[in-house]
Structure 1
Amino acid sequence: MNVSDAIAARRSIRGFKPEPIAPELLEKIFATASLAPSNCNTQPWHTVVVSGQARVDLQAAIMAEMSAGKAPSPAFIPGDQNLAGVYKERQYECAFGYYGTMGIERHEKDKRFALMMKNFEFFDAPHVAFISMPTTMGPVNAVDIGIYLQTLMLVLVEHGLASCPQGALALYPDEVQKIANIPEGNAIICGLSFGYEDVGARINDVIMDRAPLAETVQFIG
């Protein structure tokens, strides 16, 4: 598989098989992803992969926090805040496409909420990674996190695996800190649920369009 094929094949998958990934393959994947470039080779990312019973316990702990009415406490500004214009329109189109694929109407708030909660169930993936960086860092360093995350997702594709990057997994960091042992001074910027795709699961039928190239890229000269 070449890079272009991997990019074209990668999608945000939200339906997974329970089968775990072999430990030696996990290590190989993350070792390859660590080759991602970064500003001045700072490599600001720190990744914790949670699997097995620890993953089950973490899901239960986060769900308990939410059931108790605990407010989100992200360290970094969530990606869906402060959106306006075409960016807000794209967000709405994404939501409509997602709910529409699942046959959920706009007025069915209970079903919309249940689908949203699947974020915190890690979409039933057997593995979830939490990516953090020092809280003293800012947007330029976050670019490096994005490069690392894309590299990781493409390596997963190369090995026949699927993933879903989730900004939502930065919203409730306290229980993650207890179980995942995030380094002191770091904060979660995003999470990644991953594993083997449950081919045929309706939730995986969601396919998002991209804006026309002329809207996002300009060639001069």
Structure 2
Amino acid sequence: MNVSDAISARRSIRGFKPDPVAPELLEKIFTTASLAPSNCNTQPWHIVVVSGQARIDLQTAIFAEMSAGKAPSPAFPPGDQGLTGDYKDRQYQCAFGYYGTMGIERHEKDKRFALMMKNWEFFGAPHVAFISMPTSMGPVNAIDVGIYLQTLMLVLVEHGLASCPQGALAFYPDEVKKIANIPEGNGIICGLSFGYEDVGAQINKVIMDRAPLADTVQFID
């Protein structure tokens, strides 16, 4: 598989088999991903992979927080803030495609809520990685983390694995920090649920398109 094939094959997958990934393969994948470039080689990312009983405990703890009415407290502004124009339109189209694939109408609030809650079930994936960086850092360092995240997702594809990057997994950091060894002073940017795709799952039939190249890229001679 070349890089272009991996980019084309990668999608946000939200239906997983329960089968865990072998520890030696996990180590190989994350070792390769660590080769991602960063500004001045600062490597500002920190990753914690939660699996097994710890993953079950974390899901239970986050659900308890939400049931108690605790408000989200992300360390960094969520990605859906301040969206206008084409950006807001693309967000709407993403939601319409997602709910539409699952046969959920706009007025079916209970079903929409249940689907949203799957974020904190990690979509059934056996592993979830939490990606953090120091809260003292800014957008330039976040670019480095994004480069790392894309590298990691492509390496997962190379090894026959699927993933879903989730900004929602940064919303309830307190319980994550109790279970995961996140460095003091770091804030969670996002989570990444991953494992083997459940190919037949309806939720994996969601396909998102991309804007025409002319809308996002200009070539000037």
**TM-score of the two chains, using structure 2 as the length reference:** 1.00
- TM-fit CA distance, 1:181: 1.7
- TM-fit CA distance, 1:8: 0.1
SS of 1:48 mapped into structure 2:
strand
1:118-197 maps to which residues of 2 (within 5 A)?
118-197=118-197
What one-letter code is carried by the residue in structure 1 that aligns with 2:67?
A: S
Give runs of ≥4 in structure 1 deviating > 6 Å.
none
1:33 and 1:207 map into 2 onto residues whose CA distance is 26
SS of 1:24 mapped into structure 2:
helix
User: 1:70-98: CA deviations, max 9, x gaps?
Assistant: 00000100001111110000000000000
1:208 and 1:110 map into 2 onto residues whose CA distance is 24
2:157 and 2:95 map into 1 onto residues whose CA distance is 24
SS of 2:136 mapped into structure 1:
coil
2:181 and 2:38 map into 1 onto residues whose CA distance is 24
SS of 1:66 mapped into structure 2:
helix
1:216 and 1:182 map into 2 onto residues whose CA distance is 36
- TM-fit CA distance, 1:173: 0.1
Identity across matched positions, percent: 88
1:95 and 1:117 map into 2 onto residues whose CA distance is 14
SS of 1:209 mapped into structure 2:
coil
1:28-67 maps to which residues of 2 (within 5 A)?
28-67=28-67
User: 1:28-50: CA deviations, max 9, x gaps?
Assistant: 00000000000000000000000
User: 1:10-69: CA deviations, max 9, x gaps?
Assistant: 000000000000000000000000000000000000000000000000000000000100
SS of 1:86 mapped into structure 2:
helix
What one-letter code is carried by the residue in structure 2 that aligns with 1:184?
A: E
1:118 and 1:32 map into 2 onto residues whose CA distance is 29
Is 2:90 the partner of 1:90? yes
RMSD: 0.3
SS of 1:119 mapped into structure 2:
helix
SS of 2:14 mapped into structure 1:
coil
